[in-house]
A = this chain, B = another copy of it.
Amino acid sequence: MKLMDIFGALKRDMDFIERQLYRSIEGDEELLSETSLHLLKAGGKRLRPVFVLLGGKFGTYDLEKLQHVAVPLELIHSATLVHDDVIDDAGTRRGKPTVKAKWDNKIAMYTGDFLYAKALTLATRLPIPELHRILAKAMVQMSIGEMEQIRDFFNTEQSVRQYLLRIRRKTALLIAISCQLGALASEASSRIHTQLYRYGYNVGMAFQIRDDLLDLCGTEKSLGKPPGSDMRQGNITLPVIYALQDPEIREPLLAELEVIRSNGMEADAGRAIGMILSSPGIRRAEELADRFIGKALDALEGLPESKSKTHLKEIALFVNKRSY
């Protein structure tokens, strides 16, 4: 389900953003427009633009301005996805062939580069140096997060702290700044930016933990791919780290992960998933996601009452819904 469906209030503005998103990648180079459009049309929740608009409601809401934040953030998100697919050697995303599968890795790499650059060009339409600074810094952190992910592939010794730092960079930061920059572009007070950043950061952390849980607890039908994809790629997620802390499960799970490692994407992750499901890993990860959502809701407390605040609360609860 698309998040935007839950609030008709934003529908018209989100439709405008959607059109601007498509327009932003048109007319430069044919192949780049085609690959970028393919990527954008594959869908997605447009979570970042939604947050930008909701953040914008806490100041002087101006869609003409906000589009120059919302569109870039979604383009940056798309750029990371297309580069991710190269790393993960992913054939499909959201049930459609990836750019790297339909074209090739090289074209996927340049599509990502194009989307990053395009995002920045659009953002520079707003002459707010602080905004450009926040955006560029987040991009540095995101690329570090991506590299950490590669570096930690199949690292079964990693700590919960390492995992949290990684998802902070990889996911939470972009969501945090989506909320923050919407408010910044609308000239809301700096206290409001800070609270919105905190909200977004905590929602982002919970969102990624839930996503990682889904990959273990979902079904092939609900996921559009067999469960355990993360593990097959070597991405050791929170429930796995917790499961490895269980002395009874640790040794057999390590052995199973070694088998998966040697078989790569063809591996059968069924046995490993079974072990994790029977460990306290799932419950503990859920509890941590709950705590992040709690902090996100706390951050909202300080904000003035409004429809947007209610929407943000709804999204936080939606993100944390057990969808498996």
Contact = CB atoms under 8 A, between A and B. Distances in A.
A294 B127 CA distance: 37
Contact of A116 (B29, B116, B129): B116
5 contacts: A29-B144, A29-B151, A105-B105, A116-B117, A120-B139
Interface of A is mostly: helix
Contact of A83 (B109, B127, B129, B136): B109
A121 interface: yes
B105 A147 contact: no
A31 interface: yes
Nearest to A151: B31
A127 B124 contact: no
Interface centre among A83, A109, A128 (most CB of B within 10 A): A109
A144 B142 CA distance: 23
A140 interface: yes
Contacts of A135: 120
Contacts of A139: 113, 116-117, 120-121
A230 interface: no
Q: Which 7 A-B pairs have the closest CB atoms?
A: A117-B139, A120-B136, A127-B129, A114-B143, A124-B133, A121-B136, A117-B140
Contact of A114 (B106, B114, B140): B140
Contacts of A113: 83, 112, 116, 139, 143, 146
A148 interface: yes
A212 to B, nearest CB: 20
A302 B286 CA distance: 68
A87 interface: yes
Interface in A1-48: 28-29, 31-32
Nearest to A131: B124
Contacts of A133: 121, 124-125
B140 A28 contact: yes
Nearest to A105: B105
Interface string A70-86: 00000000000001001
A143 B111 CA distance: 8
A154 interface: no
Interface in A120-167: 120-121, 123-125, 127-129, 132-133, 135-137, 139-140, 142-144, 146-148, 150-151
Contacts of A83: 109-110, 113
Interface string A146-190: 111011000000000000000000000000000000000000000
A84 to B, nearest CB: 10
Nearest to A29: B144
B147 A31 contact: yes
Nearest to A115: B143
A223 B214 CA distance: 53
A110 B143 contact: yes
A146 B28 contact: no
A275 interface: no
A118 interface: yes
A150 B129 CA distance: 35
A107 interface: yes
